[in-house]
Amino acid sequence: MSAILFATVGHLHGKRRMIVLDTAFPKLKLKNKLLLPIVQGGMGVGVSAHRLAGTVASLGALGTISSVDLRRHHPDLMAQTEKTRNKELINAANLIALDREIKAAKAMAEGRGMVAVNVMRAVAEYAAYVRQSCESGADAIVVGAGLPMDLPELTSEYPDVALIPILSDARGIALILKKWMRRKRLPDAIVIENPQYAAGHLGAAGLDSVNDPHFAFSVVLEGTLALFKELGIESEKIPLITAGGIHSPEQVRELFALGASAVQLGTPFAVSEEGDAHMTFKKVLTGARPEDIVTFMSCAGLPARAVKTQWLANYLDKEAKLQRKAGPKDCTVGFDCLHQCGLRDGIAKAGQFCIDTQLGFALEGDVKRGLFFRGSEPLPFGSAIRPVRELIDYLLNGISPATHGTLGA
Protein backbone atom coordinates (compact mmCIF):
# COMPACT_ATOMS: atom_id res chain seq x y z
CA MET A 1 0.00 0.00 0.00
CA SER A 2 1.27 3.45 -0.77
CA ALA A 3 2.48 5.36 2.26
CA ILE A 4 1.21 8.59 0.82
CA LEU A 5 -2.34 9.57 1.60
CA PHE A 6 -4.07 12.30 -0.30
CA ALA A 7 -6.23 14.70 1.60
CA THR A 8 -8.00 17.90 0.73
CA VAL A 9 -7.19 20.74 3.08
CA GLY A 10 -7.46 24.52 3.16
CA HIS A 11 -10.16 26.70 1.69
CA LEU A 12 -8.31 29.96 1.10
CA HIS A 13 -8.32 29.92 -2.69
CA GLY A 14 -10.62 27.03 -3.34
CA LYS A 15 -9.70 23.47 -2.38
CA ARG A 16 -6.05 22.48 -2.40
CA ARG A 17 -4.78 18.90 -2.59
CA MET A 18 -2.18 18.25 0.04
CA ILE A 19 -0.01 15.21 0.49
CA VAL A 20 -0.08 13.80 4.00
CA LEU A 21 2.53 11.20 4.82
CA ASP A 22 1.93 8.06 6.83
CA THR A 23 4.04 5.12 8.00
CA ALA A 24 3.83 1.68 9.54
CA PHE A 25 6.27 2.77 12.28
CA PRO A 26 4.66 3.66 15.61
CA LYS A 27 3.92 7.39 15.89
CA LEU A 28 5.93 9.62 18.20
CA LYS A 29 3.70 10.76 21.07
CA LEU A 30 4.51 14.24 22.39
CA LYS A 31 2.15 16.13 24.69
CA ASN A 32 -0.76 13.94 23.55
CA LYS A 33 -0.06 14.66 19.90
CA LEU A 34 0.84 11.84 17.51
CA LEU A 35 3.61 12.70 15.04
CA LEU A 36 5.51 10.94 12.31
CA PRO A 37 8.62 9.65 14.16
CA ILE A 38 10.98 12.02 12.33
CA VAL A 39 12.60 15.07 13.89
CA GLN A 40 14.34 17.75 11.87
CA GLY A 41 17.17 19.00 14.09
CA GLY A 42 17.65 22.71 14.80
CA MET A 43 20.42 24.22 12.66
CA GLY A 44 22.01 27.61 13.20
CA VAL A 45 22.77 30.16 11.99
CA GLY A 46 19.55 30.44 9.99
CA VAL A 47 19.84 27.00 8.31
CA SER A 48 16.58 25.84 9.88
CA ALA A 49 14.16 28.76 9.96
CA HIS A 50 10.42 28.86 9.24
CA ARG A 51 10.48 27.39 5.73
CA LEU A 52 12.21 24.14 6.71
CA ALA A 53 10.59 23.72 10.13
CA GLY A 54 7.16 24.70 8.79
CA THR A 55 7.42 22.23 5.89
CA VAL A 56 8.43 19.37 8.19
CA ALA A 57 5.59 20.16 10.61
CA SER A 58 3.07 20.48 7.75
CA LEU A 59 3.84 16.86 6.82
CA GLY A 60 3.05 15.71 10.38
CA ALA A 61 6.57 15.48 11.83
CA LEU A 62 8.58 17.65 14.28
CA GLY A 63 10.26 20.64 12.63
CA THR A 64 12.76 22.75 14.56
CA ILE A 65 13.70 26.41 14.15
CA SER A 66 17.19 27.30 15.36
CA SER A 67 16.89 30.43 17.52
CA VAL A 68 20.41 31.81 16.95
CA ASP A 69 20.75 35.16 15.15
CA LEU A 70 17.58 34.84 13.05
CA ARG A 71 17.65 38.57 12.16
CA ARG A 72 19.86 37.42 9.25
CA HIS A 73 16.68 36.30 7.46
CA HIS A 74 15.03 39.73 7.89
CA PRO A 75 16.48 42.54 5.77
CA ASP A 76 14.69 45.25 7.80
CA LEU A 77 16.21 43.97 11.06
CA MET A 78 19.64 43.54 9.43
CA ALA A 79 19.50 47.12 8.13
CA GLN A 80 18.90 48.33 11.69
CA THR A 81 21.64 46.25 13.31
CA GLU A 82 24.29 45.26 10.74
CA LYS A 83 26.62 48.15 11.52
CA THR A 84 25.90 48.55 15.20
CA ARG A 85 27.89 47.13 18.09
CA ASN A 86 24.98 47.71 20.44
CA LYS A 87 24.28 44.31 21.94
CA GLU A 88 20.83 45.25 23.28
CA LEU A 89 19.72 46.36 19.81
CA ILE A 90 21.00 43.14 18.20
CA ASN A 91 19.35 40.98 20.87
CA ALA A 92 16.03 42.81 20.51
CA ALA A 93 16.12 42.36 16.71
CA ASN A 94 16.78 38.64 17.15
CA LEU A 95 13.77 38.24 19.45
CA ILE A 96 11.56 39.97 16.86
CA ALA A 97 12.96 37.65 14.17
CA LEU A 98 12.35 34.59 16.35
CA ASP A 99 8.74 35.65 16.92
CA ARG A 100 8.21 36.12 13.16
CA GLU A 101 9.81 32.78 12.30
CA ILE A 102 7.77 30.80 14.84
CA LYS A 103 4.52 32.38 13.68
CA ALA A 104 5.37 31.80 10.00
CA ALA A 105 6.26 28.12 10.63
CA LYS A 106 3.07 27.55 12.62
CA ALA A 107 1.04 29.17 9.83
CA MET A 108 2.64 26.81 7.29
CA ALA A 109 1.92 23.80 9.52
CA GLU A 110 -1.81 24.64 9.76
CA GLY A 111 -2.08 22.65 12.99
CA ARG A 112 -0.25 19.59 11.70
CA GLY A 113 2.95 18.21 13.27
CA MET A 114 4.81 20.36 15.78
CA VAL A 115 7.11 23.37 15.59
CA ALA A 116 10.00 23.31 18.07
CA VAL A 117 12.69 25.89 18.78
CA ASN A 118 16.28 24.85 19.39
CA VAL A 119 18.16 26.97 21.90
CA MET A 120 21.79 26.29 22.69
CA ARG A 121 22.54 26.36 26.42
CA ALA A 122 25.93 27.89 25.58
CA VAL A 123 24.34 31.02 24.08
CA ALA A 124 24.27 34.14 26.29
CA GLU A 125 20.61 34.91 25.44
CA TYR A 126 19.48 31.34 26.18
CA ALA A 127 16.84 32.34 28.77
CA ALA A 128 15.46 35.18 26.62
CA TYR A 129 15.20 32.89 23.57
CA VAL A 130 13.40 30.22 25.64
CA ARG A 131 10.89 32.76 27.01
CA GLN A 132 10.27 34.33 23.59
CA SER A 133 9.74 30.90 22.03
CA CYS A 134 7.07 30.05 24.60
CA GLU A 135 5.37 33.45 24.19
CA SER A 136 5.38 33.16 20.40
CA GLY A 137 3.66 29.78 20.43
CA ALA A 138 6.42 27.19 19.96
CA ASP A 139 5.17 23.66 20.64
CA ALA A 140 8.49 22.45 22.05
CA ILE A 141 11.86 23.75 23.27
CA VAL A 142 14.91 21.65 22.42
CA VAL A 143 18.14 22.48 24.23
CA GLY A 144 21.64 21.27 23.38
CA ALA A 145 25.25 22.45 23.83
CA GLY A 146 25.13 22.28 27.61
CA LEU A 147 22.92 20.94 30.38
CA PRO A 148 19.56 22.79 30.62
CA MET A 149 19.15 22.25 34.37
CA ASP A 150 16.87 25.31 34.72
CA LEU A 151 14.57 24.70 31.73
CA PRO A 152 11.55 23.60 33.86
CA GLU A 153 11.65 26.88 35.86
CA LEU A 154 12.14 29.00 32.76
CA THR A 155 9.04 27.49 31.13
CA SER A 156 6.88 26.93 34.24
CA GLU A 157 4.13 29.25 32.94
CA TYR A 158 3.86 27.23 29.73
CA PRO A 159 3.10 23.65 30.83
CA ASP A 160 1.88 22.70 27.33
CA VAL A 161 5.28 23.36 25.75
CA ALA A 162 7.23 20.10 25.40
CA LEU A 163 10.76 20.18 26.87
CA ILE A 164 13.42 18.14 25.05
CA PRO A 165 17.08 18.12 26.13
CA ILE A 166 19.82 16.93 23.75
CA LEU A 167 22.41 14.68 25.41
CA SER A 168 25.00 12.19 24.26
CA ASP A 169 25.37 9.67 27.06
CA ALA A 170 23.50 8.03 29.92
CA ARG A 171 25.51 10.04 32.48
CA GLY A 172 24.23 13.37 31.13
CA ILE A 173 20.70 11.97 30.94
CA ALA A 174 20.92 10.86 34.61
CA LEU A 175 22.01 14.37 35.69
CA ILE A 176 19.06 16.04 33.94
CA LEU A 177 16.48 13.47 35.05
CA LYS A 178 17.51 13.65 38.71
CA LYS A 179 17.55 17.45 38.73
CA TRP A 180 14.22 17.83 36.90
CA MET A 181 12.52 15.13 38.98
CA ARG A 182 13.23 17.22 42.09
CA ARG A 183 11.12 19.88 40.38
CA LYS A 184 8.47 17.28 39.55
CA ARG A 185 9.07 17.56 35.82
CA LEU A 186 10.20 14.99 33.29
CA PRO A 187 11.53 15.69 29.80
CA ASP A 188 8.81 15.11 27.18
CA ALA A 189 11.45 13.37 25.03
CA ILE A 190 15.26 13.15 24.96
CA VAL A 191 17.44 13.52 21.87
CA ILE A 192 20.47 11.21 22.04
CA GLU A 193 23.06 12.70 19.69
CA ASN A 194 26.14 10.65 18.83
CA PRO A 195 29.23 12.92 18.51
CA GLN A 196 30.91 10.35 16.25
CA TYR A 197 28.57 11.23 13.38
CA ALA A 198 26.63 14.45 14.10
CA ALA A 199 27.17 17.90 12.59
CA GLY A 200 27.88 21.16 14.39
CA HIS A 201 28.76 21.22 18.07
CA LEU A 202 29.37 17.79 19.53
CA GLY A 203 28.51 16.60 23.04
CA ALA A 204 31.97 15.26 23.92
CA ALA A 205 34.53 16.72 26.34
CA GLY A 206 37.27 17.03 23.73
CA LEU A 207 38.42 15.99 20.26
CA ASP A 208 39.97 12.76 21.54
CA SER A 209 36.67 11.50 22.99
CA VAL A 210 34.38 12.19 20.00
CA ASN A 211 34.61 8.55 18.82
CA ASP A 212 34.36 7.01 22.28
CA PRO A 213 32.41 3.71 22.12
CA HIS A 214 30.28 4.68 25.14
CA PHE A 215 28.43 7.10 22.79
CA ALA A 216 27.17 4.23 20.58
CA PHE A 217 23.38 4.34 20.20
CA SER A 218 23.04 0.74 21.46
CA VAL A 219 25.02 1.56 24.63
CA VAL A 220 23.21 4.84 25.39
CA LEU A 221 19.74 3.43 24.65
CA GLU A 222 20.37 0.40 26.89
CA GLY A 223 21.88 2.57 29.65
CA THR A 224 18.97 5.01 29.49
CA LEU A 225 16.31 2.30 29.63
CA ALA A 226 18.14 0.81 32.67
CA LEU A 227 18.24 4.29 34.23
CA PHE A 228 14.47 4.74 33.69
CA LYS A 229 13.92 1.45 35.55
CA GLU A 230 16.20 2.52 38.41
CA LEU A 231 14.34 5.84 38.73
CA GLY A 232 10.88 4.25 38.42
CA ILE A 233 10.08 5.94 35.10
CA GLU A 234 7.94 3.97 32.64
CA SER A 235 9.95 3.76 29.42
CA GLU A 236 6.98 4.87 27.25
CA LYS A 237 6.82 8.13 29.21
CA ILE A 238 9.95 9.63 27.68
CA PRO A 239 10.47 8.87 23.97
CA LEU A 240 14.12 8.59 22.97
CA ILE A 241 15.12 10.25 19.70
CA THR A 242 18.45 9.19 18.21
CA ALA A 243 20.49 11.65 16.13
CA GLY A 244 23.72 11.59 14.14
CA GLY A 245 24.57 9.97 10.83
CA ILE A 246 21.11 8.55 10.09
CA HIS A 247 20.56 8.31 6.34
CA SER A 248 18.68 5.11 5.47
CA PRO A 249 15.41 3.31 6.28
CA GLU A 250 17.46 0.29 7.43
CA GLN A 251 19.11 2.41 10.13
CA VAL A 252 15.72 3.74 11.22
CA ARG A 253 14.42 0.17 11.61
CA GLU A 254 17.53 -0.88 13.58
CA LEU A 255 17.27 2.10 15.92
CA PHE A 256 13.59 1.41 16.58
CA ALA A 257 14.50 -2.21 17.38
CA LEU A 258 17.05 -0.91 19.93
CA GLY A 259 14.41 1.19 21.70
CA ALA A 260 14.35 4.54 19.85
CA SER A 261 10.93 6.13 19.33
CA ALA A 262 12.02 8.55 16.60
CA VAL A 263 15.10 9.70 14.70
CA GLN A 264 16.51 13.20 14.32
CA LEU A 265 18.42 14.27 11.22
CA GLY A 266 20.32 17.45 10.56
CA THR A 267 22.52 17.40 7.43
CA PRO A 268 19.95 15.63 5.19
CA PHE A 269 17.35 18.32 6.05
CA ALA A 270 19.88 21.15 5.65
CA VAL A 271 20.37 20.12 2.01
CA SER A 272 16.67 19.59 1.27
CA GLU A 273 14.89 21.87 -1.19
CA GLU A 274 13.18 23.68 1.66
CA GLY A 275 16.35 24.13 3.76
CA ASP A 276 16.62 27.86 4.60
CA ALA A 277 20.29 28.32 3.60
CA HIS A 278 21.63 29.46 0.20
CA MET A 279 21.80 26.84 -2.58
CA THR A 280 25.61 27.09 -2.53
CA PHE A 281 25.55 26.12 1.16
CA LYS A 282 23.67 22.95 0.21
CA LYS A 283 26.10 22.20 -2.62
CA VAL A 284 29.11 22.52 -0.28
CA LEU A 285 27.53 19.96 2.06
CA THR A 286 26.42 17.52 -0.65
CA GLY A 287 29.74 17.84 -2.51
CA ALA A 288 31.98 17.09 0.48
CA ARG A 289 33.99 13.87 0.27
CA PRO A 290 34.57 11.85 3.47
CA GLU A 291 38.15 13.18 3.69
CA ASP A 292 36.82 16.79 3.54
CA ILE A 293 34.84 16.42 6.78
CA VAL A 294 36.82 17.29 9.92
CA THR A 295 36.43 17.81 13.66
CA PHE A 296 38.06 20.75 15.44
CA MET A 297 37.55 22.87 18.56
CA SER A 298 34.87 25.55 18.32
CA CYS A 299 35.13 28.86 20.16
CA ALA A 300 32.20 27.58 22.28
CA GLY A 301 34.73 25.19 23.85
CA LEU A 302 33.13 22.09 22.31
CA PRO A 303 34.39 19.90 19.47
CA ALA A 304 32.57 20.57 16.19
CA ARG A 305 32.26 18.87 12.77
CA ALA A 306 32.29 20.74 9.45
CA VAL A 307 33.49 20.67 5.85
CA LYS A 308 37.15 21.66 5.48
CA THR A 309 36.52 24.54 3.09
CA GLN A 310 39.08 27.25 2.33
CA TRP A 311 38.40 29.30 5.46
CA LEU A 312 38.50 26.29 7.82
CA ALA A 313 41.69 24.90 6.22
CA ASN A 314 43.41 28.32 6.62
CA TYR A 315 42.18 28.68 10.17
CA LEU A 316 43.35 25.19 11.16
CA ASP A 317 46.81 25.94 9.70
CA LYS A 318 47.06 28.96 12.00
CA GLU A 319 45.17 27.53 14.97
CA ALA A 320 48.15 26.59 17.17
CA LYS A 321 49.71 30.03 16.72
CA LEU A 322 46.41 31.81 17.45
CA GLN A 323 45.90 29.66 20.54
CA ARG A 324 49.39 30.51 21.84
CA LYS A 325 48.58 34.21 21.51
CA ALA A 326 45.03 33.93 22.96
CA GLY A 327 44.06 36.66 25.44
CA PRO A 328 40.87 38.39 26.61
CA LYS A 329 39.49 41.09 24.28
CA ASP A 330 36.20 42.75 23.40
CA CYS A 331 33.82 40.72 21.22
CA THR A 332 34.90 41.42 17.64
CA VAL A 333 31.29 42.10 16.52
CA GLY A 334 29.89 43.53 19.77
CA PHE A 335 27.27 40.78 19.96
CA ASP A 336 28.71 38.62 22.80
CA CYS A 337 26.63 35.71 21.53
CA LEU A 338 28.21 33.02 23.74
CA HIS A 339 28.39 32.71 27.54
CA GLN A 340 32.00 31.68 27.05
CA CYS A 341 33.88 32.43 23.83
CA GLY A 342 37.40 31.16 23.20
CA LEU A 343 38.24 34.22 21.09
CA ARG A 344 36.74 36.93 23.33
CA ASP A 345 37.70 35.35 26.66
CA GLY A 346 41.15 34.22 25.48
CA ILE A 347 40.60 30.53 26.27
CA ALA A 348 43.58 28.92 24.53
CA LYS A 349 42.19 25.37 24.23
CA ALA A 350 39.01 26.61 22.50
CA GLY A 351 38.62 27.88 18.94
CA GLN A 352 39.98 31.35 18.09
CA PHE A 353 37.41 32.64 15.58
CA CYS A 354 34.04 34.40 15.60
CA ILE A 355 31.50 31.64 15.05
CA ASP A 356 28.56 33.94 14.33
CA THR A 357 30.46 35.70 11.54
CA GLN A 358 31.67 32.47 9.90
CA LEU A 359 28.28 30.72 10.12
CA GLY A 360 26.62 33.86 8.73
CA PHE A 361 28.89 33.70 5.68
CA ALA A 362 28.01 30.02 5.17
CA LEU A 363 24.27 30.77 5.32
CA GLU A 364 24.73 33.28 2.47
CA GLY A 365 26.66 30.69 0.43
CA ASP A 366 30.04 32.42 0.77
CA VAL A 367 32.31 29.42 0.06
CA LYS A 368 35.52 31.34 0.73
CA ARG A 369 34.64 32.67 4.17
CA GLY A 370 31.90 30.39 5.52
CA LEU A 371 31.98 27.67 8.17
CA PHE A 372 29.85 24.79 6.88
CA PHE A 373 28.71 22.37 9.58
CA ARG A 374 28.09 18.86 8.28
CA GLY A 375 27.74 15.34 9.67
CA SER A 376 30.26 12.63 8.83
CA GLU A 377 28.00 10.14 7.03
CA PRO A 378 26.76 9.82 3.44
CA LEU A 379 23.52 11.59 2.50
CA PRO A 380 20.29 9.70 1.69
CA PHE A 381 20.10 11.07 -1.87
CA GLY A 382 23.83 11.56 -2.53
CA SER A 383 24.38 14.94 -4.15
CA ALA A 384 20.71 15.42 -5.13
CA ILE A 385 18.74 18.21 -3.47
CA ARG A 386 15.23 16.89 -2.96
CA PRO A 387 12.05 18.02 -1.17
CA VAL A 388 11.54 17.26 2.53
CA ARG A 389 8.51 15.11 1.70
CA GLU A 390 10.68 12.68 -0.26
CA LEU A 391 13.27 12.52 2.53
CA ILE A 392 10.66 11.60 5.14
CA ASP A 393 8.92 9.12 2.83
CA TYR A 394 12.27 7.46 2.09
CA LEU A 395 13.30 7.16 5.75
CA LEU A 396 9.96 5.88 7.01
CA ASN A 397 8.70 3.91 4.06
CA GLY A 398 11.76 3.10 1.98
CA ILE A 399 10.25 4.92 -0.98
CA SER A 400 13.08 6.57 -2.88
CA PRO A 401 12.58 9.47 -5.30
CA ALA A 402 13.57 7.12 -8.14
CA THR A 403 10.44 5.07 -7.37
CA HIS A 404 8.37 8.23 -7.80
CA GLY A 405 10.16 8.67 -11.10
CA THR A 406 11.32 12.14 -10.08
CA LEU A 407 15.01 11.81 -9.17
CA GLY A 408 17.03 14.31 -11.14
CA ALA A 409 20.27 13.50 -12.91
- Cα 384 to Cα 283: distance, rounded to the nearest angstrom: 9
Parallel, antiparallel, or unpaired for β 4-9 and 200-201?
unpaired
Residue 244 binds ligand FMN (CB under 6 A): yes
Q: Is 265 in the site for ligand FMN (CB under 6 A)?
A: yes
Q: Is 166 in the site for ligand FMN (CB under 6 A)?
A: yes
- Shortest Å, Cβ 104 to ligand FMN: 19
- Per-residue mark of binding to ligand FMN, 124-163 (x: CB under 6 A): --------------------x-------------------
Site for ligand FMN contains 374 (CB under 6 A): yes
Stretch that binds ligand FMN, among 82-90, 206-214, 244-252, 340-348 (CB under 6 A): 244-252
Q: Would you count residue 243 as binding ligand FMN (CB under 6 A)?
A: yes
Tell me the one-letter amino acid at 298: S
In the complex, the smallest distance separating the C-beta of residue 148 from ligand FMN, rounded to whole angstroms, is 11
How far is residue 311's CA from residue 70's CA, in Å, rounded to a whole number?
23
Is 375 a binding residue for ligand FMN by CB under 6 A? The answer is yes
Q: Is 66 in the site for ligand FMN (CB under 6 A)?
A: yes
Q: Is 65 in the site for ligand FMN (CB under 6 A)?
A: no
By CB under 6 A, residue 352 contacts ligand FMN: no
Nearest distance from residue 379's CB to ligand FMN, in Å? 9
Is the Cβ of residue 25 or residue 373 nearer to ligand FMN in the bound state? 373
Q: Nearest distance from residue 285's CB to ligand FMN, in Å?
A: 7
- Interhelix angle 388-397/249-257, rounded to 10 degrees, is 50
Alpha carbon dihedral 151, 99, 41, 263, in 10-degree steps, equals 80
Using CB under 6 A as the binding rule, whether residue 200 contacts ligand FMN is answered as yes
- Choose the stretch contacting ligand FMN; rule: CB under 6 A; options: 266-274, 293-301, 326-334, 339-347: 266-274
For ligand FMN, how many residues bind (rule: CB under 6 A)? 30
Residue 14 or 382: the one with the smaller Cβ distance to ligand FMN is: 382
CB-wise, 13 or 294, nearer to ligand FMN? 294
What angle, 0 to 180 degrees and rounded to 10, lies between the N-to-C axes of helices 50-58 and 388-397? Answer: 50
Shortest distance (Å) from residue 6 CB to ligand FMN: 29
Contacts (CB under 6 A) with ligand FMN, residues 280-309: none
List the one residue from 132, 168, 196, 264 that touches ligand FMN (CB under 6 A): 264
β pairing state of 33-35 and 28-30: antiparallel
Residue of the chain from 105, 199, 293, 302 that contacts ligand FMN (CB under 6 A): 199
CB of 199 to ligand FMN, least distance (A): 3
Q: Which of 91, 118, 309, 397 binds ligand FMN (CB under 6 A)?
A: 118
Residues that bind ligand FMN (CB under 6 A): 41-44, 47, 66, 68, 118, 120, 144, 166, 193, 197-200, 243-246, 264-268, 270, 373-375, 377
